[in-house]
Amino acid sequence: MTAIKEVKRFQEFLMNAWPAEQYFFLNGWILRFTKGVTYRANSVIPINYTGNNSLIENDIEMVENAYKSFNLPTIFTMHEYFEPKELDGALRNRGYIEQDRTNALLMPVQNIDLKHINNEFNYKIHDERANEFASLLAKFTKRDRYQQEIIKEITNRIIVPKKCFVITKWRNETIGTLMGVLNPHGYFYIADVFVIPEFRCQKIASSMLKTVIKEWAMSNGAENIWLQVEQQNLNALKLYENLGMKKVYSYYYLRKDLI
């Protein structure tokens, strides 16, 4: 498979793993709307372009008007093979600002070392996003309880892929989370990996990953693991690279706020 086809397949996988509330299609671009919660669920995916390149400014303006109608900033998710090739320059000329360069990492399940799990903690796998999962993230991350409720709605829309949620506890205290989405092609997507600060550096994140692969993903047909990490998150990049994961592509966001 060529690189461009592989990247576009991963963009499709990601959209299914994080379903938006509403969609609009414009000349091959996919516009996603979900109450403004997360860039992934509220951005344009320029995976293809079937429009007229000479009219790209008109199409961008229509996109901006669509997001403005939801009182949202306009955000484009710019993977390595966005279309048309003039899009990046056109957006920057209109005042769009680049944010959050991110790497997508991949590895075959068979290559991961499933030993060395920290068994001092309890790892439980759930079929749904339990309240304590959302509560922990609302308390310690940048998304509040309202936003966590919207995220729960997003995860409830995951139908075709299979999903699971890991909650890690220490003496009945929830101290870590991990979400997994397995699509029908055997790609197991990892998200919401979080450990509260005072419990970090104890191999909990890697133990959650190994546990869910060993006890859930492999038995459900997972063949590859993949996830996304912002390039500035050096600790997470180091963790996953030490596990053997390799970069397959990168992307960034271009954002223009409402005036």
Domain CATH for 74: 3.40.630
Query: What's the Cα-to-Cα distance from 195 to each of 56, 148, 166, 180, rounded to whole Å?
Result: 44, 17, 12, 16
Task: Verify that 10 and 60 share a domain, yes or no.
Answer: yes
Query: Of how many residues is the chain composed?
Result: 259
pLDDT digits (tens, 9 = 90+) for 119-167: 999 999 999 998 899 999 999 988 888 999 999 999 999 988 899 999 9
Domain CATH for 171: 3.40.630.30
pLDDT number for residue 243: 87
Task: Verify that 224 and 111 share a domain, yes or no.
Answer: yes
Strands 224-230 and 187-195: parallel
pLDDT band at 259 (very low <50, low <70, confident <90, very high): confident
Strands 246-256 and 173-182: unpaired
1 pLDDT more than 70? no
Task: Verify that 97 and 117 share a domain, yes or no.
Answer: no
Task: Verify that 223 and 160 share a domain, yes or no.
Answer: yes
Task: Verify that 92 and 141 share a domain, yes or no.
Answer: no
Considering the chain, what percentage of its residues have pLDDT values greater than 90? 81
Q: Which residue matches tokens 């060395």?
A: 116
Task: Verify that 119 and 50 share a domain, yes or no.
Answer: no
**pTM above the 0.85 mark?**
yes
2 pLDDT more than 70? no
Task: Verify that 129 and 218 share a domain, yes or no.
Answer: yes
pLDDT digits (tens, 9 = 90+) for 59-69: 999 999 999 99
Average pLDDT, the chain: 93
Are 175 and 204 in contact, with CB atoms under 8 Å apart? yes
Task: Verify that 240 and 194 share a domain, yes or no.
Answer: yes
- Residue 18 is which amino acid? W
Dist CA 150 CA 41 (whole Å) = 10
Measured from the Cβ of residue 61, the count of other Cβ atoms closer than 10 Å reads 13
pLDDT digits (tens, 9 = 90+) for 229-251: 999 999 889 888 888 999 999 99
Q: Which residue has the higher pLDDT, 93 or 2?
A: 93
Are 183 and 13 in contact, with CB atoms under 8 Å apart? yes
Task: Verify that 136 and 242 share a domain, yes or no.
Answer: yes
Task: Verify that 121 and 242 share a domain, yes or no.
Answer: yes
By C-alpha distance, which of 46, 44, 4 is closest to 20?
Answer: 44
Task: Verify that 181 and 65 share a domain, yes or no.
Answer: no
Task: Verify that 170 and 235 share a domain, yes or no.
Answer: yes
Are 150 and 37 in contact, with CB atoms under 8 Å apart? yes
pLDDT digits (tens, 9 = 90+) for 20-55: 999 999 999 999 999 999 999 999 999 999 999 889
3-state secondary structure the chain: CCHHHHHHHHHHHHHHHCCCCEEEEECCEEEEECCCCCCCCCCEECCCCCCCHHHHHHHHHHHHHHHHHCCCCEEEEEECCCCCCCHHHHHHHCCCEEEEEEEEEEEEHHHCCCCCCCCCCEEEEECCCCHHHHHHHHHHCCCCHHHHHHHHHHHHCCCCCEEEEEEEEECCEEEEEEEEEECCCCEEEEEEEEECHHHCCCCHHHHHHHHHHHHHHHHHCCCEEEEEEECCCHHHHHHHHHCCCEEEEEEEEEEECCC
User: Domain residues for 90?
Assistant: 3-103+252-256
Domain count, the chain: 2
pLDDT number for residue 6: 87
pLDDT band at 5 (very low <50, low <70, confident <90, very high): confident
